[in-house]
Structure 1
């Protein structure tokens, strides 16, 4: 192969790599949408696949974060919240306070009156 043929082959390879590969990557890359359209695209994709139900908030773990729960905790959730928040003071952690209330009202826990909960 002559030097001219080699140069043409190398030039063609460079054009393909520099021109076509970035185009393919941009089409396949997940962030090709503007940020304000990504969430809608993901939601639509999940709905098409029938997976959107997995994103509902009632599947999120109990005890996260320290905020007060939006509804009354069940007894198992209250036990879990107290365990997860064992290092928190009930006066400083609304979730632990709500969990203790459930456990006290259900008779599962008797608080020590000397501790001043």
Structure 2
């Protein structure tokens, strides 16, 4: 639609108005210099839109995600579920929250 309708119509419209030059068009309309400077930008935006729409038509394969759940986190979630409450930080032993090894392991799992 864009490449077969709107873009050719725009090019014809600009051409009928003097090809983007500051002179009288067929209908006696004078093209202002500010509009002339916008014509190349508009053509560029048409090209960008056309490319974006082309990308949307292509199939993009998204790799399957493999989540690694730390055993302490898994136990905290199970404990919360058995209690009938939402999991929160209080279900994790306080000494682990200050353990840099534990925190680095969790951080490492998020970087995968």
Larger CA Rg, structure 1 vs 2 = 2
TM-score between the two structures when normalised by the length of structure 2? 0.30
Q: Which gives a bigger RCO, structure 1 or 2 (Cα 8 Å, sep 6+)?
A: 1
